[in-house]
Structure 1
Amino acid sequence: MKNKTVKIGLLGVGVMGQNHLRNLSMLKQVEIAFIYDLDKQACDKISKIYNVPVSDNLEGDLKGLDGAIIATPTFTHFDYIKLVSKYVKNIFVEKPLTSTLETSKEVVKLAKELNLKIQVGFIERYNPAVVALQNVINNSKNTIAIDFSRTNKVSSRITDVDVIMDLMIHDIDLALKFNGKVDKIYAHGYIKNQMIEYARAIITHKNGSFSNILASRITEKRTRNICVTCDDKYIDCNLLSKEIFVNKQTIEQYIDNVSISSKIEIVDVRPQEALLLELVDFAKLCNGDDVLVANECSGLAAIEVANIVQKQILDSNNKQSKYIGVNLCQL
C-alpha cells in the first residue's frame, strides 16, 4: 500500500508513554494527533516540550485516527481498548495485553468481531540482540533448553502488577516465540507485601525443549540474559550490553573425538532503538501494510502462561512439585 502520513493518538504520558512520544516524534510518516492522560498537569507540561496537542475530549478526538497507542497502567488497558476500538481499528497496547486472563480473552474476541489490528508491546522482540540471537538459533542444531534471567531492584513506577506481569512476561513471550507451544509448567516464587517479587518457571514445550525463566524485583544486580543450549553450540546473550558469544567445537574436533576447549565466536549486533523499530511496524500497520507483529493472540498466550505461574506461586496448598498443562491461543 502507498505510504502516507498516519495520524496516531497517544494515551498515557507516564515513563513509557513519554518514551513512545520521543520515538514517535522522530518518525516522519507519523502525525501525533494528540496526547491524553488523566494527569492534566503532566500532559500540559509534556505538550509544550514536544509541541503536540492535548486531548480534552478523548472520544471525540479518537474519531478519524489511523491508530492509537495505549501506554496507561495495566489495569486500565481493557477499558481503554474497548473505548478506542469504537473509533480506531489499529491499536498498540503496551504489555501485558490486559491485567487478567478473562479480559485478555475478551480482547481477542473483540478483535475478531471488529476486525481490529492489535499490536502488543513486547519490545524485546525488537531488541537487536534478540534479533541476532534468533538468527543464531535458526542456524543451530536442536535447541535443548533456553535460560532467561531478568532481575532488577523494584521500580517505584510499577505498583499495579507483580514481577510476572512486569518483567517475566517479556521472557514468556520470547520462550513461546523461540520454543513454541507449551506442554507443562512448574513455578515457584517469593511473595513480599502480598505481591510476587521473585519467580522461577520451568516450561516444557511440545517440541521437547525447555525454557527456564527467572524474574526478580528484589535482586540488587540488574541482569537481562538469555543462554541457549543446543546440540552443536552454547549461546550466551546479554540483552543489556548487546553482546552474544557462541561456544562451539569445530568439525575436526568432533571427528578426532579429542577433548579440547570449544572456540568462542562473537556475533556482531547492530545498535538500534528497539522501541523505534516497534513503532515503525505499528505505523506500517496503520498504513494497511501486512506486518508480522505480536498480536492479541500472542498477548493472550503469554497471559495464559503467566496466569498459571501466578496461581502456582500463590496457591498455599501446592505443597508438592506439580506440572500444569496449558492450551495456547496461537503463536
Structure 2
Amino acid sequence: MSKKLRGAVVGVGYLGKFHAQKYKNNPNVELVGVCDHFPAQADKIAMELGVKSFHKPQDLIGHVDLVTIAASTLSHFELAKMFVENGVHVNVEKPITATVPQAEELLALAAKKNVKVAVGHIERFNPAINDLQKHLKNPKFIELNRMAPYNKRGSDVSVLHDLMIHDMDLLFWLTGSEIESMTGTGTKLISKELDTASVSFKMKNGMQVMINVSRVSPVAQRSIRVLQDDCTLWAQTGTLELEKVVPGPGGDEFLTVTKWSVEKADALQRETDAFIDCVLNDKQPVVTGLDGLKALKAIEDVQRMIEG
C-alpha cells in the first residue's frame, strides 16, 4: 500500500499504552494519536510516543481507519458502537462488552456496516499454548489455572469477566466443543464482585474441563494440564515451559519425562499485527466478535450458576 492505515488507541492506562506502542511498531499503520478519559494521561502517553493527544473519542472520527479500545469494560459498548457506526474497524480488549445484549447489538451493527470487530483474547497468541496445541490428541481432561495477586485495576468487574474470560475462550478453542453442563463455586473476599472461582465443565464431546481462577492469590500462576490416552501435558503459560509425561510399556510406573521451553514472543504485538492484517487484507480476525460473544455468554452462565 502506498498509504498506511490510520490507527489510534482509546484508553491508554497501564494496558492501553502497550497497545499504542505495538501500533508504532507496525510498518503498515500510522499511529495518529491516543485518547483517554483523563486528558493528562492522554497527553503524557502522546508525548512519550510523539503522536497527537485526543481528549474526546469522537474527535478521532475522520482521522482513523481502525482503533483499539483498551478503556474500562463498562465503556466498551458505547465506544465500540460509535466507531462501528462511523465505519471504523475495532479491536476491543476482553471482554467484548459488559453484557451479552450489548455484544449482540454491537455485532449486528458491525455486520450491517461491514466493519470488522476483533476481541483481545491474547492467550490465542501465547507461544506456549500454540505449542501445546500441537501435542493435543483426543484429550480427556483439561485443567486451566489462572492466579494473580490482588490489583485494583480490573476490580470493577468480577474475576470471571477479568480473568476467567481468557480461559473460557481457550475452553472452546482447545476442546472444539460446546458446554453440556457445569458446576462450581466462587467467593467474594476483597471486592464486591467474585474474587475466586472454580468451575467444572462437561463438554458435549465428552471432554471434562476444570477452570480455577483467583485474583487474591499470594503468587501469580498461569498453567494448563492435559490428560490424554498417550500422555500428560503441562504448560506453564507465563514462563513458557512445557512438559510431557509418557507412561512406560504396559502402563507401569516407568515414565518418560520430556521438558522444553518455547521461544519468547510478544503476544500483544502478535495480536495487534493480526488485527491490522485482517483489516489490510480483508480477512476474518483471529478472535472474532462472535468468539468474544460466545465467551461472554458462558461467563454470564457461570455467574448465574455460582450466584444461584
TM category, shorter = over 0.9
**289-298 or 150-159: bigger deviation:** 289-298
> Does 2:150 correspond to 1:154?
yes
**Structure 2 alignment gaps of length 5 or more:** none
Correspondence for 2:178: 181
State how far apart, in whole Å, the 2-side matches of 1:305 and 1:221 are. 27
> Does 2:306 correspond to 1:308?
no
**Structure 1 alignment gaps of length 5 or more:** 316-331
| Contact preservation (8 Å) 1:244, 1:266 | yes
Correspondence for 2:214: 216
- Structure 1 residues 100-179: aligned runs within 5 Å: 100-137=99-136, 140=137, 142-179=138-175
Alignment CA distance shift 1:302-1:258 (3 Å)? closer
| Contact preservation (8 Å) 1:9, 1:34 | yes
> Does 2:288 correspond to 1:295?
yes
Render the CA deviation track for 1:228-287: whole Å, top value 9, x for unaligned: 01111100100111001011136xx1xxx2613220122441210000000110110221
Correspondence for 1:190: 187
Tell which has more relative contact order, 1 or 2 (C-alpha 8 A, sep 6+): 1
Per the TM alignment, residue 71 of structure 1 is displaced from its structure 2 partner at its CA by 0.5
Correspondence for 1:240: 238
| Contact preservation (8 Å) 1:9, 1:65 | yes
Correspondence for 2:73: 74
**50-59 or 269-278: bigger deviation:** 50-59
Alignment CA distance shift 1:289-1:3 (3 Å)? farther
Per the TM alignment, residue 108 of structure 1 is displaced from its structure 2 partner at its CA by 2.3
User: Partner amino acid for 2:254?
Assistant: S
Alignment CA distance shift 1:60-1:222 (3 Å)? closer
Per the TM alignment, residue 210 of structure 1 is displaced from its structure 2 partner at its CA by 1.2
Number of residues paired by the alignment?
Answer: 306
**81-90 or 164-173: bigger deviation:** 81-90
Correspondence for 1:44: 43
Per the TM alignment, residue 65 of structure 1 is displaced from its structure 2 partner at its CA by 2.1
| Contact preservation (8 Å) 1:281, 1:291 | no
| Contact preservation (8 Å) 1:62, 1:88 | no
Correspondence for 1:282: 275
| Contact preservation (8 Å) 2:234, 2:242 | yes
TM-score, structure 2 length as denominator? 0.94
Alignment CA distance shift 1:219-1:53 (3 Å)? same
| Contact preservation (8 Å) 1:284, 1:291 | no
State how far apart, in whole Å, the 2-side matches of 1:69 and 1:258 are. 50
State how far apart, in whole Å, the 1-side matches of 2:84 and 2:127 are. 31
Alignment CA distance shift 1:58-1:153 (3 Å)? closer
Per the TM alignment, residue 292 of structure 1 is displaced from its structure 2 partner at its CA by 4.5
Correspondence for 2:89: 90
Per the TM alignment, residue 5 of structure 1 is displaced from its structure 2 partner at its CA by 2.0
**227-236 or 192-201: bigger deviation:** 192-201
| Contact preservation (8 Å) 2:117, 2:285 | no
| Contact preservation (8 Å) 1:200, 1:213 | yes
TM-score, structure 1 length as denominator? 0.88
> Segments of 4+ in structure 1 off by > 6 A?
none
Correspondence for 1:263: 256
